[in-house]
Structure 1
Amino acid sequence: MTKSLRELSDRLEIQDLLVDYSHAVDRREWDALDVIFTPDATIDFRATGGAHGDLPAIKAFLAKALANFTVSQHLIAPSKIELAGDTATGRTMCHNPMVLEGGRVLFVGLWYIDRFVRTENGWRIADRTQELAYFHNAPG
């Protein structure tokens, strides 16, 4: 099926948003999340043992939780994106190795289930939920 230029542009902008999220978290640039999520976004990381709440709560949670790791990588696969005008949904696979102090590597496999909205400043994530696939080498 042929896609319109607008649909191609929307898909690329959403993909860039997902990449920007990965880079912001892995670089510990918490304020960069302000231009990735809507101000009233709801974020649910409970599937992987994390927090649930608004953006300020999640930024605080991430800063505290990731302080235990020397490095992390959010390796995302191409997303399944469904566009519907100025909204969209997405399901994105993520493989997330994280290195603990001492060198032990924890692997987390998950999906991000997102609802996106087009704003006057471009696409943003309005809702994000994690769906757990696996943990490997988790501290016990």
Structure 2
Amino acid sequence: MTQRVELATVIDRLAVDGLVTEYAVAVDDGDWEAYRGLFTPDGRADYRSAGGIEGDAAQVAEWLAENMRLFAMRQHLIVNRRLRFGLLEQDTGDTARVQADYINPMRFAGDAGDDGGSTAPDLVCGGRYAFGLVRTDDGWRLRHVVVHEKWRRTPQPRHEPATT
């Protein structure tokens, strides 16, 4: 591999990593216009394993906008990113696959944390994303996102010791 090819690969890796981060930020911040803009025109997302829907990016953004209102706080972290570049019309590097684990703590709207009380999450879930990306004239975009939720936990309230 030439130094020029290696540099291009590093630049692509950074761009793909940035796109995955933008995805997390758009979901956590509820920026559904930005979310839709991360996808190709035919881009799709599949949240069925987490109790959601599968559809084109606009449909899924609408569903997320409605359902994420339940949570005043969302902060999912995407880690252990495994990136593989692929072929598109015989051109290496114009597609990519990312497999990445996530953990997602969320707090329900209206909980004590909204007015300065506890900020502990009400729901924490984790799993693995499968991202499919393609290079476009506008840069890297998501062609598909599949959520594979592996676990979910609702923290139990702590009980105060009984006083006598």
* 1:52-86 per-position Cα deviation (integer Å, ceiling 9, x unaligned): 10011101110011011111001111410001220
CA distance in 1, matches of 2:45, 2:127: 15
Letter in structure 2 aligned against 1:64: E
> Which amino acid in the other structure matches residue 49 of structure 1?
G
Which residue identity lines up with residue 102 of structure 2 in the other structure? C
- Secondary structure of 1:79's aligned partner: strand
Task: Please tell me the residue identity of whatever aligns with 2:20.
Answer: L
- 2: CA distance, partners of 1:25 / 1:34: 10
Matches within 5 A, 1:34-113: 34-84=36-86, 85-101=93-109, 102=111, 105-113=122-130
Within 2, Cα distance between the matches of 1:126 and 1:97?
26
Map of 2:9 onto structure 1: 7
Query: Which residue identity does 2:100 align to in structure 1?
Result: T
Kept after mapping to 1: 8 A contact 2:36/2:58: no
Structure 1, unmatched stretches of 5+, are none
RMSD: 1.9
The one-letter amino acid paired with 1:45 is: Y
- How many residue pairs align between the two structures? 139
Q: Which amino acid aligns with 1:106?
A: L
C-alpha distance in 2, partners of 1:122/1:114? 15
Structure 2 runs not aligned, ≥5 long: 87-92, 113-120, 156-164
Partner amino acid, structure 1, of 2:126: G
1:117 aligns with 2:134: yes
Distance (whole Å) between structure 2 residues aligned to residue 120 and residue 92 of structure 1: 25
Q: Percent identity?
A: 33
Which structure carries more relative contact order (alpha carbon 8 Å, separation 6+)?
A: 1
Partner of 1:33 in structure 2?
A: 35
Q: What TM-score, normalized to structure 2?
A: 0.79
Letter in 1 for 2:58: P
Normalization by structure 1: what TM-score?
0.92
Distance 1:17 1:137 in 2: 30
